């Protein structure tokens, strides 16, 4: 656990970067720091590994005052990942990752073996080991940055806008990878971002800062979205915060009903007024058969309207989106192998979306002191 207690940081030029910060970052959780530019997120992060020292207040890591710890020793237990990875350009990928184990006195062979293992952990092919950073895509470089930070197996990982410079598709992949890694590694992660969607996706807790280094609210994503502390937080979360809340629930317990299906290799029945889902021989949904069309021949040869099947692990937000986009007003549900398990009507999704929102707003607040006053 990392605990900030009444921490201030004032730079010699008079700028107050962090003001009276009291915040607890739980062990094994991802705490995300968000807020507009210049509100003190990076300074807060850098105080944890003593790249910046506070002007006043205390910071403890695992119960130990970090100002009393040896800075070099402290940093060995704290991995650091920055935007654009910050790799050494003239070293191979393997040597970039092996740098820390080498510094820790591991022999070259052991350090490289550990680096090769980490390449695999972060999902990079073994043949990237011999390449140089400029021969990798931005997303791949970012993965190397994460591997390098993990090399000494630190219990704490500080990540400063690590995915800020990659395109949205790669960014989503990197976020998924981080969540997967975190399930295995269970690190205490402090993650800085400007992007509220990224914060909601990754954070166990989200701390919202405003200019002048003030912490406004720190709460789990659902609580933050359902009950922003003030207008500043509500504005920061954006007009779609109700929809964002739906991204936190899945559609697993939404009831389903049997679908009317026709196999692609069977003749499309003529004269039916309801929507039929064309499925493969294995039972995978292929598309909706338009009731207005009068197909002849196999259903699979008819012009089909698109279907985007959802799994139980998909979010209620995806279900809502699909319920609006589906020409049939039905969402098709599949199991892990992609086989159809039934359909759910648009109305059921809308009703559940409303219920989920009401429940989040009505949920009792946890018995903790408000952010910024005592431990947040």
Ligand X SMILES: Nc1ncnc2c1ncn2[C@@H]1O[C@H](COP(=O)(O)OP(=O)(O)OP(=O)(O)O)[C@@H](O)[C@H]1O
**Long-range CB pairs of 345-353, under 8 A, 24+ apart, other chains included:** 345/257, 348/254, 348/255, 349/251, 349/254, 349/316, 349/319, 349/320, 349/323, 350/320, 350/323, 352/251, 352/254, 352/316, 352/319, 353/246, 353/316, 353/319, 353/320
**Is the CB of 11 or the CB of 88 nearer to ligand X?**
11
| Residue 212 sits in the site that holds ligand X (CB under 6 A) | no
Shortest distance (Å) from residue 35 CB to ligand X: 6
Q: Which stretch binds ligand X (CB under 6 A): 40-48, 96-104, 215-223, 279-287?
A: 40-48
**Is the CB of 21 or the CB of 122 nearer to ligand X?**
21
Query: Contact with ligand X (CB under 6 A): which of 3, 41, 143, 241?
Result: 41
**Is the CB of 160 or the CB of 223 nearer to ligand X?**
160
In this structure, how many other beta carbons lie within 10 angstroms of the beta carbon of residue 132? 15
Query: Contact with ligand X (CB under 6 A): which of 6, 15, 282, 294?
Result: 15
Q: Which stretch binds ligand X (CB under 6 A): 32-40, 115-123, 171-179, 368-376?
A: 32-40
d(CA 78, CA 151): 11
Query: Contact with ligand X (CB under 6 A): which of 27, 38, 346, 350?
Result: 38
**Is the CB of 53 or the CB of 347 nearer to ligand X?**
53
Q: Which stretch binds ligand X (CB under 6 A): 7-15, 117-125, 148-156, 232-240?
A: 7-15
**Is the CB of 39 or the CB of 151 nearer to ligand X?**
39
| Residue 123 sits in the site that holds ligand X (CB under 6 A) | no
Query: Contact with ligand X (CB under 6 A): which of 42, 261, 323, 344?
Result: 42
Shortest distance (Å) from residue 240 CB to ligand X: 22
At 47, phi and psi to the nearest 5?
Answer: -75, -25
d(CA 13, CA 191): 27
| Residue 11 sits in the site that holds ligand X (CB under 6 A) | yes
Please identify which residue in the block is written with the tokens 């402090």.
Answer: 190
Cβ atoms of residues 5 and 59 within 8 Å: yes
**Is the CB of 51 or the CB of 152 nearer to ligand X?**
51
# residues near ligand X by CB under 6 A: 13
For residue 98 the two structure tokens come to 């092996």
| Residue 256 sits in the site that holds ligand X (CB under 6 A) | no
Dihedral of alpha carbons 66, 214, 186, 133, sign: negative
SS3 of 287-331: the string is: EEECCCCCCCCEHHHCCEECCCCECCCCEHHHHHHHHHHCCCCEE
| Residue 135 sits in the site that holds ligand X (CB under 6 A) | no
Q: Which stretch binds ligand X (CB under 6 A): 30-38, 104-112, 178-186, 310-318?
A: 30-38
Dihedral of alpha carbons 103, 109, 110, 113, sign: positive
Angle at 292 between CA 286 and CA 298, to 5 degrees: 45
| Residue 193 sits in the site that holds ligand X (CB under 6 A) | no
**Is the CB of 21 or the CB of 115 nearer to ligand X?**
21
Identify any residues that bridge with 207 across adjacent strands, giving them in sequence order. 33, 218
Query: Contact with ligand X (CB under 6 A): which of 39, 78, 226, 299?
Result: 39
Output DSSP code: residue 267.
B
Does residue 250 sit in helix, strand or coil? strand
Binding site for ligand X (CB under 6 A): 11, 13, 15, 17, 35, 37-43, 194
């Amino acid at each position: 656990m990392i605990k900030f207690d009444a921490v201030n940081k004032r730079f010699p030029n008079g700028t107050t970067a962090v003001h009276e910060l009291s915040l607890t970052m739980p062990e094994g959780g991802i705490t995300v720091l968000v807020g507009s530019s210049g509100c003190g997120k990076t300074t807060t992060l850098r105080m944890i590994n003593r790249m910046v020292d506070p002007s006043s207040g205390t910071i403890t890591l695992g119960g130990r005052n970090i100002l009393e710890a040896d800075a070099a020793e402290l940093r060995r237990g704290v991995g650091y990942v920055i935007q654009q990875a910050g790799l050494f350009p003239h070293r191979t990928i393997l040597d970039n990752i092996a740098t820390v184990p080498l510094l820790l006195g591991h022999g070259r062979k052991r350090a490289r073996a550990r680096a090769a293992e980490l390449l695999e952990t972060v999902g990079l092919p073994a043949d990237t080991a011999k390449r140089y950073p400029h021969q990798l895509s931005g997303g791949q470089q970012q993965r190397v940055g994460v591997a390098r930070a993990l090399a000494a197996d630190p219990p704490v990982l500080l990540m400063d806008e690590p995915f800020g410079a990659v395109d949205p598709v790669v960014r989503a992949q990197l976020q998924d990878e981080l969540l997967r890694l975190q399930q295995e590694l269970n690190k205490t992660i402090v993650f800085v971002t400007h992007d509220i969607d990224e914060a909601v996706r990754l954070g166990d807790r989200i701390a919202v800062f405003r200019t002048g280094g003030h912490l406004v609210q720190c709460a789990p994503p659902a609580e933050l979205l359902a009950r922003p502390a003030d207008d500043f937080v509500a504005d920061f979360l954006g007009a779609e915060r109700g929809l964002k809340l739906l991204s936190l629930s899945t559609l697993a317990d939404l009831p389903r009903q049997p679908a009317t299906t026709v196999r692609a290799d069977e003749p499309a029945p003529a004269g039916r007024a309801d929507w039929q889902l064309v499925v493969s021989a294995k039972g995978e949904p292929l598309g909706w058969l338009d009731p207005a069309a009068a197909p002849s021949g196999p259903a699979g040869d008819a012009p089909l309207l698109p279907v985007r099947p959802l799994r139980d692990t998909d979010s209620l937000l995806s279900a809502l989106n699909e319920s609006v986009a589906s020409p049939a007003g039905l969402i098709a549900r599949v199991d892990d192998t992609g086989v159809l398990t039934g359909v759910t009507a648009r109305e059921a999704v809308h009703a559940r979306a409303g219920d989920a929102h009401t429940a989040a707003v009505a949920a009792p607040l946890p018995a903790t002191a408000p952010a910024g006053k005592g431990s947040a």
